[in-house]
Amino acid sequence: MCGYPTNAGCVSTGTCVPTVTPSACTTGVVACGCFGPPVEYGCNFYPGYAPASIVSPDPCTDAGAGGLADAGGGLADAGDSSIIDASDSAPE
């Protein structure tokens, strides 16, 4: 699985990271993706990495992007196909 360091910003380079066993999680973050769609990380993904490059590790609070609000209180994904998460293929 390819992962991008969450603290490297949009210049991050993908690297192979171990696959994490899916689990119930409420501590995920939806960050602003560098290439458009929001990116969910923190749950079911290797710690310190996201499935795509993100602007910063802070939650994305742009309510205009697919109706996302402050993700600090929990996951905003709920199956939203416009959010990149661990089940998606990361762009290369």
pLDDT in tens, 49-86: 999 999 988 877 654 444 443 333 333 344 455 566 66
pLDDT value for 78: 42
pLDDT value for 19: 87
**Which value, to the nearest 10 degrees, does the dihedral of the CA atoms of residues 20, 51, 2, 8 take?**
-110
More confident residue, 32 or 84: 32
Dig out the tokens for 58 from the structure.
Answer: 């802070």
Written as one string, the DSSP assignment of 7-52 is TSGGG---EE---------S--EEEPBTTSS-EEESSSS-TTEESS
Rounded Cα gap, residues 6 and 3, in angstroms: 9
pLDDT in tens, 8-19: 999 999 999 998
Cα angle, residue 71 at apex, residues 8 and 59 outer, rounded to 5°: 20
